[in-house]
Amino acid sequence: MMEIEFTKKTPKRVLRKNISTKKPTNTRPDTNPYKRKMNQMPNKFFENTFHNPLKQLKAKNSQSNFYHLSNPEKASILLQGVVGTEPQKIAVSINRDKRSIQNFLKEKDSPNVFESKNSKKGRWSKGTGKLTQNHKSYIYKWINDGTIRSSRDTYLRLNRIKKLPRISYHPVRLYLKKVGQFVKPTLKTEVTEVNKRKRLQYCIRRQNFNFKRTMFTDESSFQLNANNQKVFKLKGSKTPLKSKLNPNIKIMVWGGVSYLGKTSLTIIQGKLGGDEYHKLLKRKRPEIKSIFSKYKIWYWQHDSAPAHRSLKVKRYIKNWLTKSCLPHPPQSPDLNPIELVWTRMKREVESQHPKNKAELLEAIIRVGKKLIWFI
């Protein structure tokens, strides 16, 4: 910095230009000669410790902290310390701080000297390997309540109870596997309260009604690989296997039954929408009218499927078939007697074990003729 003689005539801009207001920086030289950059680290230590090149690279990249000692480095320090090598030479050989070497040699006799400091972060500490009676009582209570979803959930809940000794995961998993298994529950359809009231109202109004002049119609699907028939399995034996071929093949049929007669069974190609159902009723109109030719008033009933709710279908039934269409309560397939016919037909078709679409169709026609359906 220049030396300036302060006089009355010295301009201010000269003072501002030549006088530095910055604080002096610390220019003390680095007193640690062993601290170097990681990219200049010699590879001799990693080549001697790890024979696999991939492990050498992982080990080298893991030494991001100059003061951190890995387990291979600790082993090297321990061996050199036994021989009597000075800590300063050890620090130079493995490129670590001298103080870290000294601290490690002081603690070399402790039992947890090779344990990582972060080994327990985010994990449950290991516990006992045997379930006590208190553990089992809690598990049975949760099973009865239906509040556990997996072995891990049970293990976590047991370790949250302070009065119980800590338990490891594997004893919990093995015990649950011994007493049972986690399975998907069977779904059961329940009728809603609104639909229950509608069913009750329908039954009260029709309790003295004569259904002899009512045509009940419905559709049903026959699946190739239906698995409804039960088989007997001896205790301790494996569940019998069943071949599954072409799982997506289904054939839909339509029919109508009444006390006075029945319609022919119709095979439906593709999906049944409002337009397709309207065309189907047009084809079946002469057949249906012939059944009730002696009666001026007769009734029609089908469920509330989307194809049945079409405005075109409702108008056609009212104008060309009958003006008396009975309402059908939702979630009430048991109120249509044709469901008993479909159940019998499906049982007969499944007993013939069809293997493809052609055999399935032949089985439906054969069973239909057997049950006095006319194809």
- Supply the pLDDT for residue 247: 65
**218 — phi, psi (to 5°)?**
-170, 165
CA angle 30, 36, 38 (to 5 degrees): 150
- Supply the pLDDT for residue 98: 82
- Matching residue, tokens 């050199």: 80
Q: 301: part of which helix (H) or strand (E)?
A: strand 299-301
C-alpha of 366 from chain center: 42
Dist CA 137 CA 135 (whole Å): 6
**pLDDT band (50, 70, 90) for residue 215:** very high
- The lowest-confidence range among 40-44, 106-110, 281-285 is 40-44
- Supply the pLDDT for residue 37: 41
- pLDDT value at 79 more than 70: yes
Mean pLDDT of 33-60: 52
CB-based contacts of 25, cutoff 8 Å, min separation 6:
none
**Between 113 and 367, where is the model more confident?**
367
Work out the mean pLDDT of the chain and round it to a whole number: 79
Mean pLDDT of 114-136: 70
- Supply the pLDDT for residue 63: 45
Mean pLDDT of 91-120: 75
Dist CA 67 CA 100 (whole Å): 6
- Supply the pLDDT for residue 34: 43
**Between 88 and 12, where is the model more confident?**
88
**pLDDT band (50, 70, 90) for residue 149:** confident
- Supply the pLDDT for residue 326: 92
Dist CA 168 CA 220 (whole Å): 53
- Supply the pLDDT for residue 190: 85
At the topology level of CATH, where does 212-225+246-370 sit?
Nucleotidyltransferase; domain 5 (3.30.420)
Highest mean pLDDT among 115-129, 217-231, 244-258: 244-258
Tokens of 351: 């007993």
Tokens of 11: 């301009």
Mean pLDDT of 318-346: 91
- Supply the pLDDT for residue 370: 82
**pLDDT band (50, 70, 90) for residue 107:** confident
How far CA 124 is from CA of 112, 121, 128, 152, 176, in Å, comes to 18, 9, 12, 12, 20
Tell me if 120 sits within 8 A of 96, measured CB to CB: no
Mean pLDDT of 49-76: 62
Dist CA 176 CA 350 (whole Å): 37
- Supply the pLDDT for residue 97: 79
- The whole-model pTM stands at 0.53
DSSP state of 129: S
Mean pLDDT of 5-16: 46
Dist CA 88 CA 65 (whole Å): 18
- The lowest-confidence range among 38-47, 139-148, 344-353 is 38-47
- pLDDT value at 125 more than 60: no
- The lowest-confidence range among 48-52, 260-264, 344-348 is 48-52
- Supply the pLDDT for residue 35: 44
- Supply the pLDDT for residue 25: 47
Dist CA 1 CA 38 (whole Å): 38
- pLDDT value at 77 more than 90: no
Beta-bridge partner residues of 323: none
Tell me if 213 sits within 8 A of 295, measured CB to CB: yes
- pLDDT value at 12 more than 60: no
Dist CA 255 CA 220 (whole Å): 9
Write down the domain spans for the chain. Answer: 34-106, 133-179, 212-225+246-370
What's the pLDDT tens digit per position in 152-178? 889 999 988 988 998 999 999 999 988
Mean pLDDT of 270-284: 93
Tell me if 151 sits within 8 A of 179, measured CB to CB: no
